[in-house]
Amino acid sequence: MSVVSSFPLGAATTLAELAEDPHPRLALLRAQEPVSWLPELGGWLVTRRDLALSVMRDTETFTVDDPRFSTAQVVGPSMLSLDGEQHTHHREPFAAPFRPRAVREGFGSFIELETDRLITSWEPAGSVELRRAFAGPLTVAVVTEALGLVGATADTVLSWYDAIVQSVSDITAGHTAGAAGAAAYAQLRTAVESTVADQDASSLLGAAAGRLALPEVASNAAVLMFGGIETTEAMITNALLHLLRHPDQLALVRTEPDLLDGAIEESLRLEPGAAVVDRYATRDTVLGPATIRRGDLVTVSLTGANRDPAVFPDPDRFDVRRENARLQLAFAHGPHHCLAAHLARLETRIALQRLLERLPALRLDPDRPTTPYGLVFRKPATLHVLWDRSA
């Protein structure tokens, strides 16, 4: 029996469906084919939480270190695309500033000031598109501040990010990447070299340069830039959408502000900004119902794992009081757990807190509905909102 005929639900699953509205199909796969072969994906899709954890924990059997890994093709080897001792070598020099206390002390005031500045700039209008006028600019500003690149403005960092992401997306889709991504990465490398030369070793990049070669500092700076903008923008936008779509839950948060953290975790569970993570099998192995061959692509659906009813009862419901919401896997798991998860949480908490305080009548624009979209990275393309202008 062929692998396709052994997994009929996977054979009938389209990438378009997973990009547009994945949840019904993921629920079906999780219940009947928790590890399934998807011909359109050219690999296995893992949707059950316990199996997802097994893949992300076992870096000897399921690795990121493979020539097909698209990000490495654009920026070179980094903490994102290496395992074992090399992964530790690349990651550890960047770890200290992203620990909880260091994040609060190093970024809290900056995020508050930038959040208030952005809200003030459009508050008199009574309406705005929050993704591009708020979530996006905030995350770009924080990444620019974190990296401390000499001579690089937020606009410059955003332009590099856009070009690099486009190249990664082209490669992922099987296309040849254009020249813009390589040019942007070359400019980022030059900025990293200037920053290391001009600043003292207490800076993030300067400290890393004491332990890494300059090309390694640059590749990891690109990874931090990518993660800090793409997934955190999605995290803020998705959390706002969930709260505004559920007025009863929003009312609870307004009444009990301590529930805001629960709302953020629950939003991450329902709609993680990064929907999937890819691994490659280093040897023949058995995972759940599947016999996986050496070299096979194994894609973990974080979205599917996060709605596993064995862990999260009534998994499609948005519940800011859900006691185990922090068991969500939006930041992945194992050695590749998101380095800047604490910073992303702090950004999102401050952003939502200040919005809800300053715009008490904040609501979705009923004439401009929206929903998350995306195969790999999921967020609404736009988030139009209204509020009552003060007299």
Q: What is the pLDDT of residues 105-142, one digit of tens each?
A: 999 999 999 999 999 999 999 999 999 999 999 999 99
- Does residue 43 contact residue 292 with C-beta atoms inside 8 Å? no
pLDDT at 70: 87
Distance (Å) of CA 321 to CA 256, 258, 259, 318: 11, 10, 7, 9
User: Under CATH, what is the fold of the domain 3-386?
Assistant: Cytochrome p450 (1.10.630)
Report the C-alpha gap between 68 and 147 in whole angstroms.
Answer: 28
The C-alpha atoms of residue 215 and residue 77 are separated, in whole angstroms, by 9
What residue ranges do the domains of the chain occupy?
3-386
* pTM listed for this prediction: 0.95
Q: How far apart are CA 172 and CA 278, in angstroms?
A: 11
Largest CA distance in the chain: 71
Q: Check whether 172 has a pLDDT greater than 90.
A: no
Kindly report, residue by residue over 56-80, the tens digit of the pLDDT: 999 999 999 999 988 899 999 999 9
> Does residue 275 register a pLDDT over 70?
yes
